[in-house]
Amino acid sequence: MRRRRHRQRDDRRGAELTFDVLIVGAGHAGASVAIHLRQAGFTGSIAILGDEPELPYERPPLSKDYLAGKKGREDFRFRSAEFWAERDIRLIAGERVTTVHPSSVHCAAGRELHFGQLVWAAGGRARRLPGAYAIRTLADVDALKASLPGATRILVVGGGWIGLEAAAVLATAGKQVVLAESQNHLLARCSAALLSDFLLAQHRGHGVDVRLACGQLDPVRFDLTVAGIGIEPNVEPLLAAGADGNDGVLVDEFGRTSLPNVWAAGDCALHRNRFGPDRPVRIESVQNAADMGACVARAIAGDPQPYAALPWFWSNQYDLKLQTVGLSHDHDEVLVRGDPAIGKFAVIYRRAGRVIALDCVNNTRDYVQGRALIERGVRLDGALLTDADRPLKSLLET
Amino acid sequence: MPITVSVTTRDGRTKDLTAIAGRSLMENLRSGGIEEILALCGGCCSCATCHVYVDDQWLTAMPPMSEDEDDLLDTSGAREANSRLSCQIPVTPELHGLAVTVAPED
């Protein structure tokens, strides 16, 4: 695969193009695949196809600094246009793949692109509510920001990460925010009740009217509605082509799908995670997208290494810095380390006696030192783990 | 006056970049095409993927290190006395001539 094949052909009339590696999706996963392929010395032709008319950019600021006006549009591109050009990574923007064939894809606008290897890094699309703004793309947030000046009362639907981050930004901007969550606690999918309760108190303390176990509210009572109700993985064209999967596309430890020469990485990739439960999972995070992308790139470049990166995640709300390491799926025990009342603590998740994840609030030290506890799968006494005066690092030394 | 930063990448090559004041060193390295600077968290001090070594003569010109940065650097097996996270260094005209080296990948 290292040999340059000179297969890139630009037939202007037929608009037919061929790439040794065609990457579908211009987010963290897609960018990571391309960057790591070149770092590994891969000299074949590479293209990144994205469905937005944008240079590849990071999504996390959309619900944080970009929404808050602290970062401009050009402040969170992965790389400059020159960077991609210098490395001969072709960017094809504003194209969406509708059909996947054994060695080509068909785009919505009619274009046909041929590939040697296809990397599916198409992520997900926001679930949308009629009349509500979503927060998934730059265009989504530009539209939301354009209508904010005239809005006072804002309904945020969904008490997950995106809903909470948006509520924090909007409340800080002086808006009257009602946050409606259908479950009876915040972050219902992923966090312990203790963290949910802490965040609930924080948001209420900042003036957000949080309604739990909340049915549909009348949107007429609000100037605008923001929906943060999750994503649907963009995998339909792959599944239609026969790839295994359902809520995501199934991949092996190297990121290979069940289709020949087709790989997948990032939010849409259903995989068995070394740190997760004993079943395939999808992980929606920057870390997973970037590291899986790197894993796929190494395999394509001829140096396959099984995906084994430790998951981590972060969120910023008000002055709170939330950092998570590990995956808390199927935990059977929750411990608290430190004091939620002073706003600095960690929630430790265990399964069968082993530490599997930590949610850390304003507590980078435990976030950092907790990594080793998870990686080594150690069994430790709960009283030691919850003694906040004892550094987690020191527990491994005993 | 342009601010020049000299960057040595992992292959030992040194490249001079023109940096923009008011942006972090990480943002300048990244927009300057230093692909080894992953900066996965975008500069909010939640990872350690923008780790650099600061040339010793520039250490005193660096802003103080926060506890969070200190803790994050501890995740790196390549930490040295002159290690910094480049996202935590705002570029100012006083840093003209700064020399840094990209730390090895963990």
Determine the pLDDT at residue A6.
46
Count other Cβ atoms within 10 Å, centred on residue A254.
17
Q: Is B85 a residue whose pLDDT tops 60?
A: yes
Q: What Rg do the C-alpha atoms of chain A give, in angstroms?
A: 22
Tokens of A310: 């430790």
| Farthest-apart Cα atoms in chain A, separation | 71
* Contact call for B72 and A368, based on CB within 8 A: yes
Phi-psi region at A123: left, alpha or beta (left = phi > 0; alpha = psi -120 to 50): left
Q: What distance in Å separates residue A32's CA from the closest CA in chain B?
A: 9
Contact A213, A243 (CB under 8 A): no
CA distance B38 to A291: 11
DSSP state of B64: P
Q: Strand runs (DSSP E) across A306-368, as ranges?
A: 312-317, 320-326, 333-339, 344-351, 354-361
- What is the structure's pLDDT at A398? 59
| pLDDT over 90 at A263, yes or no | yes
The CATH number given to A16-125+231-300 is: 3.50.50.60
CB-CB contact of A368 with A315 (8 Å): no
Task: For residues A75-83, give the mean pLDDT.
Answer: 91
In whole angstroms, give the CA distance from residue A181 to residue A104: 42
Give the alpha-carbon dihedral of B51, B100, B20, B50, to 10 degrees: -10
- Check if the interface score ipTM surpasses 0.85: yes
Q: Do the two domains A16-125+231-300 and A319-397 of this chain adopt the same fold?
A: no
**Residues A321-340: tens digit of each pLDDT:** 999 999 999 999 999 999 99
| pLDDT over 70, % of chain A | 96
Chain centroid, CA A280 distance in Å: 17
Closest residue, chain B, to A86 (C-alpha): B33
Question: In this complex, do B40 and A316 lie within 8 Å of one another by their Cβ atoms?
Answer: no
Which residues on neighbouring strands pair with residue B10, listed in sequence order? none
Shortest distance between the Cα of A286 and any Cα of chain B, in A, equals 7
* Distance between B104 CA and the closest CA of chain A, angstroms: 14
CB A354 within 8 A of CB A326: no
Mean per-residue pLDDT, A3-27: 68
A76: chain B residues, CB-CB within 8 Å: 42
Structure confidence at residue A332 (pLDDT): 94
CA A91 vs. chain centroid, Å, equals: 21
Which residues of B fall within a CB distance of 8 Å from A290? 38, 40
Could you report the per-residue pLDDT of B10-56, keeping only the tens digit for each?
A: 999 999 999 999 999 999 999 898 989 999 988 888 889 999 999 99
Q: Which CATH class is domain B3-102?
A: alpha beta
Domain ranges (residues) in chain A: 16-125+231-300, 128-227, 319-397
CATH of domain A319-397: 3.30.390.30
* pLDDT tier for residue A7 given thresholds of 50, 70 and 90: very low
Q: Read off the pLDDT of residues A94-148 as tens digits, 9 standing for 90 and up.
A: 999 999 999 999 999 999 999 999 999 999 999 999 999 999 999 999 999 999 9
For residue B26, give the H/E element and its range: helix B25-31
Write the DSSP string, A63-94: GTTTTTTSS-GGGGBSS-HHHHHHTTEEEE-S
Q: What is the pLDDT of residue A151?
A: 97
Where along chain B do its domains lie? 3-102
**Least confident stretch, A13-27, A103-117, A259-273:** A13-27
Domain A128-227 carries which CATH code? 3.50.50.60
Cα–Cα distance measured from residue A150 to residue A102, given in angstroms and rounded to the nearest whole number: 50
* A344 bridge partner residues: A339
pLDDT at position A16 is 62
- Which of B11, B37, B41 to mutate: most A Cβ within 10 Å? B41
